[in-house]
Amino acid sequence: MYRMKGVIPPMITPFLENGDLDLEGLRTLVRFLRGKVGGLFITGSYGSGVMMTAEERKRVAEVTLEEAGDTPVIVHVGTADSRSAADLAAHARALGVAAVSAV
């Protein structure tokens, strides 16, 4: 079982001026933080999860996991409807994240 420890910052999600995800910016941010923090908390309040589609949120999780190395990743999966939250949680589990959170 994963036990949280250390500093786990709520990570921002970078966007381009046109509103698309800035995946290269995300990769750069994750590479900068990995190994320096106790974990990465993505798509939560500061991660703008509620501003993204489910597919965008899944892509953020995928890219973050690709770059995180041994740094644990916690994915916020909360939505206004339980089916979407369950779908995001199942996706996160399939990726092998350390934990999920939901509000």
Instruction: Give the model's pLDDT for residue 1.
Output: 78
Kindly report the pTM of this predicted structure.
Answer: 0.95
Give the angle 55-57-62 at the CA atoms, nearest 5°: 90
> Does residue 79 have a pLDDT over 90?
yes
Each residue's pLDDT tens digit, 12-60: 999 999 999 999 999 999 999 999 999 999 999 889 999 999 999 999 9
Angle among Cα 41, 24, 43 to the nearest 5 degrees reads 25
DSSP letters along the chain, please?
-----S---B----B-TTS-B-HHHHHHHHHHHTTTSS-EEESSTTTTGGGS-HHHHHHHHHHHHHHHTTS-EEEE---SSHHHHHHHHHHHHHHT-SEEE--
